[in-house]
Structure 1
């Protein structure tokens, strides 16, 4: 049996379940461990049965010391598993959404300042962190300086939240916003300034396009 374990709950867990349904034809058993510590605890107690494989969606950034410490423990467990535990190359679920090239036109966000910040940040991602030396724009640097407890993951979560404020495209609730995976087109409501206009309305097709994006495929190719 193939398992995919995630620390995500809510919309993040829903994202992995949709991937399993649409891309893997429900081949995987998707389980949330609730947190990165929950993931480590579950792996520490794990007795791997013959034929089982575990794919670990662990949110990893190098500018958070606690995450780095836990990642070292996770890596040690994986190295002793004889290839049965595979750590996916992942920053976080929100990063996969943020890199999607249809994010801005589909959501219809009018936040020009945040769109510019997104572009600056994505161009500065390097080795699971934002390389601040690659950012020259003063407004982007001010935005990053505004985080009390700065980390690349916190920036990703905050920025993607601002770009998906419309509840139809939200990735912050118990489920992903319904326009990611249902047949809907919120441009039917022209009075809403944040309405986007996807070129496709079919829910499964929109989700397939997200799944086929470069960042998501980089992760899924390890499974």
Structure 2
């Protein structure tokens, strides 16, 4: 059996279930472990059988010392697993959404300031962190400075929330917002929320476009290579 383990719950776990359904034809056993510690504990307790392989989607950012410590332990285990346990090259689920090239168009956000900040942040991502030295835009630096406890992952989650406030596009709840994976009317407007209109793609096709995006493909490339 081939397993994909994630620390995510809710929408993040739902994303991986949809990836499994629409891209891997349900060949993987997808399980959420609740937290990065839960994921690490599951790997530590693992008794790998001969035909099993485990893909570990561990959220890794280098500007969080606790995560760096857990990652070192995880990597030491995988290095001894003879290829049976594979760490996916992952920053966090929210980064995959933030980097999706259709995000602004589909969600229909009118927040021009946040669109600019998103562009600046994405351009500054390298080696599992936001390289602040690559950002010159004052508003972007002020936005990042507003975090009491700064980390790349916190910035990613906050920015994604700015673009997905409409519940139909939300990535915060128990499931991804229905407009990511269902046929739905996405051109409705309310007083406070706007929603863009994808180019008439059906639900499955929208999700497949997200899965085929560059950053998602980078993460799942090791799973694809093993097929």
Q: How does 1:147-158 map to 2 (within 5 A)?
A: 147-158=147-158
For 1:101 and 1:156, the matched residues in 2 are separated by 15
Match of 2:37 in 1: 37
In structure 2, the CA distance between the partners of 1:39 and 1:191, relative to structure 1 (3 Å rule), is: closer
For 1:48 and 1:7, the matched residues in 2 are separated by 19
Report the Cα offset of residue 201 of structure 1: 3.5
For 1:63 and 1:212, the matched residues in 2 are separated by 28
For 2:25 and 2:12, the matched residues in 1 are separated by 19
For 2:130 and 2:123, the matched residues in 1 are separated by 9
Match of 2:84 in 1: 84
Q: How does 1:72-221 map to 2 (within 5 A)?
A: 72-187=72-187, 189-191=188-190, 194-221=194-221
TM-score of the aligned structures, taking structure 2 as reference length: 0.96
TM-score of the aligned structures, taking structure 1 as reference length: 0.98
For 1:195 and 1:214, the matched residues in 2 are separated by 24
For 2:35 and 2:189, the matched residues in 1 are separated by 40
For 2:84 and 2:186, the matched residues in 1 are separated by 43
- SS of alignment partner, residue 139 of structure 2: helix
For 1:143 and 1:191, the matched residues in 2 are separated by 27
- SS of alignment partner, residue 222 of structure 1: helix
Match of 2:28 in 1: 28
- For structure 2, the residue ranges without an aligned partner over 5 or more in a row are none
Report the Cα offset of residue 186 of structure 1: 1.5
Report the Cα offset of residue 195 of structure 1: 1.5
For 2:12 and 2:46, the matched residues in 1 are separated by 23
Equivalenced residue count is 222
For 1:156 and 1:102, the matched residues in 2 are separated by 16
- SS of alignment partner, residue 222 of structure 2: coil
Report the Cα offset of residue 185 of structure 1: 2.8
- SS of alignment partner, residue 5 of structure 1: strand
Q: How does 1:57-68 map to 2 (within 5 A)?
A: 57-68=57-68
For 1:3 and 1:190, the matched residues in 2 are separated by 41
Match of 2:3 in 1: 3
CA deviation vs aligned residue, 1:103-162 (integer Å, no higher than 9, x gap):
001000111111100000000001000000000010000000000110000100110011
For 1:21 and 1:200, the matched residues in 2 are separated by 22
